[in-house]
Amino acid sequence: MIAAFTTYGTGPLTAVPATPEHGALVATEATPSAVPRLRGIVRRVAANWGLPDDAVAALMLASSELVTNVVVHSGSPDVELLLTATHEHAELRIRDHGRWHDPEQRGALPTGGRGLDLVRAQADLQLIPSQNGTAATARIPLTPARHRNSLTGPAGSASAGERP
C-alpha cells in the first residue's frame, strides 16, 4: 500500500493512507536541508511505485530545482510537495506560502537562473503565482512501455480488459 507522508521540521515522517491513485504528500520547513530530504523522498516513493528510471530521475531533478526556488526566492516558512502518478503521467507539485524576492538584494551570489529551464527540459511545467504563494507543477508523460510494474503490472503483461 502506498502512503502519503507528512512531516514538519526534522521529526519523523507520519504515514497516512494514500489516495486511490498513487499519491504522496510531504510538508516541511523551507530550509536548505529540505532540498535533499524531499529529493530523497521523491526517489524512494517513485521507485517504490515502479516508475521507470528516467521518470524517477526527472522527478528528482524537478524536486531539487523547484524546492530550491522556494528556499531561495519565496521567503515561505514551509514547502509542500505532492507526488502523484497515474497510468498516463507522473506529476510533482511544489507549493509555498511566500512572496517572490530577489536573493541578490540580500547579498547572494548570482549563480542560478537555470533551474526552471532544466525542469522544462524534462517535464511540462506550470507555474501559478497567487497572493498566498506559488504552485509549480511538473508533469512527466508515461507511456505503457516505460512502466515496470506497479502502475500497469509486469512488463509485457496485459491488464484486465486489455488485449496483449
CATH of the domain at 39: 3.30.565.10
Helix (H/G/I), strand (E/B), else coil: 141: strand
Buried b (16+ CB within 10 A) or exposed e, 105-124: eeeeeeeeeebbeebeebbe
Task: Evaluate whether residue 108 is within a structural domain.
Answer: no
pLDDT in tens, 9-55: 444 444 443 444 678 888 899 999 999 999 999 999 999 888 999 99
Task: Evaluate whether residue 36 is within a structural domain.
Answer: yes
pLDDT grade, residue 162 (50/70/90)? very low
Task: Evaluate whether residue 151 is within a structural domain.
Answer: no
Task: Evaluate whether residue 156 is within a structural domain.
Answer: no
Task: Evaluate whether residue 154 is within a structural domain.
Answer: no
Model pTM greater than 0.75? no
What pLDDT does residue 137 have?
Answer: 96
pLDDT of 94 > 70? The answer is: yes
Q: For 55, phi and psi rounded to 5 degrees?
A: -70, -40
Full domain range(s) for residue 136 = 3-101+113-146
Contact by Cβ (8 Å): 89, 139:
yes
Task: Evaluate whether residue 130 is within a structural domain.
Answer: yes
DSSP string, 81-128: EEEEE-SSEEEEEEEESS----GGGGT--S----HHHHHHHHSEEEEE
Number of domains in the chain: 1
Task: Evaluate whether residue 65 is within a structural domain.
Answer: yes
Task: Evaluate whether residue 141 is within a structural domain.
Answer: yes
